[in-house]
Amino acid sequence: MGGYRELFEASIRDPNAFWADAAKAVTWTREPQKILDDTNPPFYRWYPDGELNTCVNALDRHVDGGRADQLALIYDSPVTGTKRTFTFRELLDLTARFAGVLRANGVERGDRVVIYMPMIPEAVVAMLACARLGAVHSVVFGGFAAHELATRIDDARPKAIVTASCGIEPTRTVEYKPMIDAALDMAEHPAPVCIVVQRDRHRCQLQDGRDLDWTDVMATASPVDAVPVKATDPLYVLYTSGTTGKPKGIVRDNGGHAVALLWSMRNIYDIAPGEVFWAASDVGWVVGHSYIVYGPLLLGATTVLYEGKPIGTPDAGAFWRVIAEHGVKALFSAPTALRAIRKEDPDGEHIGRYDLSPMKYLFQAGERLDPDTYAWAADKLSVPVVDHWWQTETGWAIAANPMGADPLPIKAGSPTVPMPGYDVRVLHVDGSECAPGEDGAICIRLPLPPGTLPTLWGDDARYQRSYLSEYPGFYLTGDGGYLDEDGYLFVMGRIDDVINVAGHRLSTGSIEAVLATHPAVAECAVIGVADEIRGQVPRGFVVLKSGASAEGLPEELVELVRTEIGAVACLRTVDVVPALPKTRSGKILRKTMRGIAHGKDEPLPSTIEDPTVLDKLKPILTR
């Protein structure tokens, strides 16, 4: 582990020197002389005297540096049958003109713009145009309900909203405009202007005096130059999924963000300028911000914007078609996408239909990559399957395998090792460090590295209360797990997914890992439910692979857990279900399932992908 260990230790021993060197990859209008401002802990700021523009770093410098005619963006939409490409010159032209549209409608440096859009190129243009002006964008996942949208509008207080007439799903069209109109009616601070992309599938009615047609305003727009901003100025606010009451707005600054993403593109993902990178996510999530829009473009790589699903658009070979057609070197997706593909195509027959020789890596994040799914993907694709772990709050990987710097042996079930700047410790409740292999709360010693959240939007006190108060001097990730004797991190799930069975603390993630090894199981979830005798006991829920039989399976799975973990696990009940409830980003709604099982009137999360799945599951959860 020599190369990695030296890199990591340098970042912890002398963070100023490490991140000063990394900052050389950024084009600054004023180079920072001070690297870390640690005068006001726990509020640490990176590159406090630096000045730059993120849009210039993502577009202008590549146009000026000889990449003007290289592809910057590939738009592939199987739901509309559309494919379009944009060079860096073309993307810069669109971005500079839309920045002119925003300025003409009153948006200036520091103002907020809410972006509520499907996966279309205009969403990328809108984000970059905000960055060009020094405005702060807040992307809300397209399809969020009006109330959730209204709370975000009130928190951000935007000068403008950018939206589209509809989103397009494989089986339905989702009208956005009625939700925007309802949200603006509810909001205490409605935006004065709304710019709408009219899509061919559904055109909406525009409201006179407020709504503008994207095509019309772009036809007469004048391009504007980029506005330099402080490195510590906010680039965006992204509200975390599943918030209730006052939304929790994660702030991302300009300078640290650019430095961290550039470092990660080269060192974690092993991508060079001109290569094709595809994050199969959505611009409404942090992965879409970091690795559809900013990371690849900052580097001068080509990014893929995919409006489709892993299955059903049209089949389980959708991902492999995109890789083959566009020469994708690295795919980044959530494990839930792999499990969906595997469920439909367990033998990987679709994989054999495409030339996947351009593909060198499959990166996974967003939820735990169970060893069984890892083994299937590694076997069928014959490329490294690289798990890594991070959060909306951090913006880039806390733990990963640095494929572009010093690749390490892969251990199934582990996102490998902490990345530079992340001084990861696993702590007991009293704050003492856990021994290797011992479960505890995963924490990160302050300061966090560049690119991570400096605070919450308009709420320093909540930032401290939510993340920093439990273990003074540390950031609490909210996840539990352990470090092994080699320094590999194992993330077993949220801390509240640890259950106490007759005095024994058990991670539901460890039980899920056992269930997932059964050849009939495509997906699974384990929750803790109340028990009069033992305090809590686990309940399992499994989704079968295509063609698998449920007969006798629950009993087999109970015995499997008993063999692998022991009788202490007390798993007595496993239900076979047609599907598990998930957020649109693929996370299983275990907390919601737990609440329903305990008889609570659990509200539907705004992020839920398909509410009917939960409706069908309720009778099973409550029996």
Evaluate whether residue 26 is within a structural domain: yes
Check whether residue 472 and residue 512 sit in a common domain.
no
Check whether residue 303 and residue 159 sit in a common domain.
yes
Evaluate whether residue 352 is within a structural domain: no
What is the pLDDT at residue 495? 76
* Structural domains counted in the chain: 2
Of 422, 447, 481, the position where a domain reaches its end is 481
* Residue 503 confidence (pLDDT) above 90: no
What are the φ and ψ backbone dihedral angles of 443, each rounded to 5 degrees?
-130, 165
Q: Three-state SS for 488?
A: coil
**Both structure tokens of 327:** 């020469």
The answer to whether the beta carbons of residues 340 and 310 sit under 8 Å apart is: yes
CATH code (residue 612)? 3.30.300.30
Evaluate whether residue 364 is within a structural domain: no
Mean pLDDT of the region 360-374: 90
Of 452, 481, 510, the position where a domain reaches its end is 481
Evaluate whether residue 235 is within a structural domain: yes
Cα(536)–Cα(538) distance, rounded to whole angstroms? 7
Mean pLDDT of the region 88-110: 98
What are the φ and ψ backbone dihedral angles of 614, each rounded to 5 degrees?
-70, -35
CATH code (residue 15)? 3.40.50.12780
Which residues form the domain of 111?
2-308+388-481
Check whether residue 474 and residue 517 sit in a common domain.
no
Evaluate whether residue 333 is within a structural domain: no
The answer to whether the beta carbons of residues 425 and 444 sit under 8 Å apart is: yes
Mean pLDDT of the region 586-590: 84
Check whether residue 136 and residue 281 sit in a common domain.
yes
Q: How, if at all, do strands 112-116 and 166-168 pair?
A: unpaired
Check whether residue 447 and residue 512 sit in a common domain.
no
Q: Packing angle between helix 177-186 and helix 146-156, nearest 10 degrees?
A: 50
Check whether residue 458 and residue 536 sit in a common domain.
no
Check whether residue 473 and residue 514 sit in a common domain.
no
What is the pLDDT at residue 244? 42
Check whether residue 31 and residue 155 sit in a common domain.
yes
Tens-digit pLDDT profile for residues 307-335: 999 999 999 999 999 999 999 999 999 98
Tens-digit pLDDT profile for residues 30-47: 999 999 999 999 999 999
Check whether residue 476 and residue 541 sit in a common domain.
no
Cα(519)–Cα(542) distance, rounded to whole angstroms? 12
Cα(296)–Cα(303) distance, rounded to whole angstroms? 6
Check whether residue 469 and residue 523 sit in a common domain.
no
Of 481, 515, 543, the position where a domain reaches its end is 481
The contacts of residue 623 (CB under 8 Å, 6+ apart) are none
Evaluate whether residue 324 is within a structural domain: no
Strands (E) in 47-179, as ranges, are 51-52, 71-77, 82-87, 112-116, 136-139, 160-164, 166-168, 173-175
- Residue 602: pLDDT band (50, 70, 90) is confident
Evaluate whether residue 423 is within a structural domain: yes
Check whether residue 515 and residue 428 sit in a common domain.
no
What is the distance of C-alpha 128 from the center of its chain? 18
pTM here? 0.86
Give the residue carrying structure tokens 């009615």.
Answer: 205
What is the pLDDT at residue 1? 42
**Helix (H) or strand (E) segment spanning residue 461:** helix 460-463
Check whether residue 231 and residue 186 sit in a common domain.
yes
Computed over every residue of the chain, the mean pLDDT equals: 93
* Residue 23 confidence (pLDDT) above 70: yes
What is the pLDDT at residue 583? 81
Q: Packing angle between helix 2-13 and helix 15-22, nearest 10 degrees?
A: 110
The contacts of residue 471 (CB under 8 Å, 6+ apart) are 427, 431, 441, 443
Tens-digit pLDDT profile for residues 147-199: 888 999 999 999 999 999 999 988 889 999 999 999 999 999 999 999 999 99
Mean pLDDT of the region 449-471: 96
Mean pLDDT of the region 97-108: 98
Evaluate whether residue 378 is within a structural domain: no
What is the pLDDT at residue 34? 98
| Lowest-confidence pick of 54-63, 260-269, 276-285, 564-573 | 564-573
Tens-digit pLDDT profile for residues 423-452: 999 999 899 999 999 999 999 999 999 999
**Both structure tokens of 555:** 């009993």
Mean pLDDT of the region 202-221: 97
